[in-house]
């Protein structure tokens, strides 16, 4: 079939909307009509070249839509079902999948980096030239063929834009707080960044009973936005963040710090602002050449935990519906993360807004039902 898609041909280039050929889904794949897709920092880093990825490619990895067709071996979804998309389809057989940590799946990671589907081939073509997938999903398109485990069924009443965000930003921020850091009632939580991931961490910290939630963010309007979602205090990165946290906590610092930004040098400040025995969770992905320095003696004496968290450190297939359940119950207002909507043709504008720090989350709506 033919599909309209935004194709990135070269790093730092524009996203050109073109008609591509899309092959039928193979036996363990699903064809999805994309209804809504979020614009995530990982896409932006690939577009800018900060994180290399095979090109040409159709980016986009935060989407939701309707199943159009399924391969012969697919039984958990059928045409007409609404689905959110998970960008880490677990193999279900490797040591990490079997031990309940599917985001570390060793079978799916190589294909993800190669820009193919799980069998190492692509379904997208521009004439006789192959076009790469991105994180298995390539949601900046009207239609996409995805691995069956990436299609997570959701209730029909959930808006597609909300379901899309649950598939990346919300799961990433929420999971860092709940699954990785295990924030408990009474904790003081420091969150760096007030975009989609950082604000999801704020909402999760609030749901977990954190008493003080401090957001560190350079833009005043986004600091204000964080307050409406549960932040009790805000600071700017240029402020004495460590001193402020200690003043709030009788001299200790944050019990949990979430870095949803990933810029170099920020982690040193986060380390200083975190209490002895506290946990620092790195969520934002830095450039491949970046490294982290921590004061080694304090690292030992203060027994701090420093850990990464990928895609919420949980089980996306279970966690995404759970997040949407919390949304339906009015406890996780995912819709309030969406600050602007775009059409596919205006994708570059969405990225410009994201890179300028103007957005909480931008969402591309493919049709009026999103």
The residue ranges that bind Zn ion (CB under 5 A) are 40, 42, 91, 94, 97, 105, 107, 168
274-301 residues labelled b (16+ CB within 10 A) or e (exposed): bbeebbbbbbbebeeeeeeeeeeeeeee
Peptide bond into 56 cis (omega under 30): yes
By beta-carbon proximity to Zn ion, the closer residue of 107 and 207 is 107
Please classify residue 246 by burial: count the beta carbons closer than 10 Å to its beta carbon, then call 0-12 exposed, 13-18 middle and 19+ buried: middle
Tokens matching residue 221: 């309007």
Closest contact distance (angstroms) between CB of 268 and Zn ion is: 25
Q: Which is nearer to Zn ion, 93 or 182 (CB)?
A: 93
Residue 169: how many CB atoms within 10 A of its CB?
27
- Residue 202 Cβ vs Zn ion, minimum distance, rounded to whole Å: 17
C-alpha span between 48 and 14 (Å, rounded): 10
Give the tokens for residue 34. Answer: 């994309």
Residue 180: DSSP 8-state: I
Q: Smaller CB distance to Zn ion: residue 40 or 59?
A: 40
Distance CA 150, CA 112 (A): 12
Spatial distance between the Cα atoms of 34 and 367, rounded to a whole number of angstroms: 9
Which secondary-structure segment (H or E) carries 158?
none
Q: Which of residues 197 and 256 has its CB atom nearest to Zn ion in the complex?
A: 197
Comparing CB distances to Zn ion, the nearer of 40 and 332 is 40
Minimum distance between the CB of residue 62 and Zn ion, rounded to whole angstroms? Answer: 5
> Which CB atom, from 130 or from 352, has the smaller least distance to Zn ion?
352
Least distance to Zn ion, CB of residue 28, Å? 14
CA distance 259 to 279: 11
Rounded least distance, CB 180 to Zn ion, Å: 16
- Report the residue number, 91 or 114, with the smaller CB distance to Zn ion: 91
What's the closest the beta carbon of residue 98 comes to Zn ion, in angstroms? 8
Closest CA to 100 of 267, 315, 255, 291: 315
Query: Which residues, 6 or more positions from 154, have their beta carbon under 8 angstroms from its beta carbon?
Result: 64, 82, 83, 84, 163, 320, 321, 324
Q: How far is the CB of 19 from Zn ion (least distance, A)?
A: 26
| DSSP characters over 76-92 | S--TT-EEEE-S----S
Q: At its nearest, how many Å lie between Zn ion and the CB of residue 209? A: 27
| Shortest reach from residue 217's CB to Zn ion, in Å | 19
CB contact at 8 A, 185 and 203: no
Residue 254 or 258: which CB sits closer to Zn ion?
258
Identify which of residues 164 and 332 has a Cβ nearer to Zn ion in the complex.
164
For residues 22 and 3, is the Cβ–Cβ distance under 8 A? yes
H/E element holding 297?
helix 296-301
């Amino acid at each position: 079939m033919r599909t309209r898609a935004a194709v990135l041909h070269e790093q730092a280039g524009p996203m050109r909307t073109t008609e591509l050929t899309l092959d039928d889904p193979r036996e363990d794949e699903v064809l999805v009509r994309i209804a809504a897709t979020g614009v995530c920092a990982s896409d932006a880093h690939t577009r800018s070249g900060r994180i290399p990825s095979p090109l040409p490619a159709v980016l986009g990895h935060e989407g939701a839509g309707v199943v159009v067709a399924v391969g012969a071996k697919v039984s958990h979804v059928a045409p007409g079902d609404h689905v959110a998309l998970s960008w880490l389809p677990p193999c279900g057989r490797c040591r990490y999948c079997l031990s309940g940590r599917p985001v570390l799946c060793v079978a799916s990671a190589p294909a993800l980096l190669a820009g193919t589907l799980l069998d190492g081939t692509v379904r997208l073509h521009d004439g006789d030239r192959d076009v790469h997938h991105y994180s298995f999903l390539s949601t900046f398109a009207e239609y996409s063929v995805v691995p069956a485990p990436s299609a997570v069924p959701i209730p029909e009443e959930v808006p597609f834009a909300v379901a899309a965000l649950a598939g990346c930003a919300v799961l990433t921020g929420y999971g860092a707080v709940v699954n990785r850091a295990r924030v408990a009632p009474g904790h003081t939580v420091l969150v760096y960044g007030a975009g989609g991931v950082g604000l999801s961490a704020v909402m999760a910290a609030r749901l977990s009973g954190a008493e003080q939630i401090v957001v560190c963010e350079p833009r005043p309007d986004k600091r204000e936005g964080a307050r409406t979602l549960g932040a009790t205090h805000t600071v700017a990165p240029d402020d004495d963040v460590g001193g402020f946290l200690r003043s709030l906590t009788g001299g200790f610092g944050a019990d949990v710090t979430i870095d949803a930004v990933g810029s170099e040098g920020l982690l040193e400040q986060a380390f200083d602002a975190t209490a002895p025995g506290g946990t620092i969770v790195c969520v934002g992905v830095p450039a491949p050449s970046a490294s982290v320095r921590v004061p080694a003696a304090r690292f030992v004496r203060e027994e701090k935990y420093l850990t990464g968290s990928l895609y919420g450190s949980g089980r996306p297939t279970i966690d995404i519906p759970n997040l949407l359940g919390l949304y339906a119950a009015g406890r996780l207002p995912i819709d309030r993360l969406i600050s602007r909507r775009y059409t596919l043709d205006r994708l570059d504008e969405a990225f410009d807004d994201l890179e300028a720090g103007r957005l909480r989350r931008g969402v591309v709506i493919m049709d009026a039902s999103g």
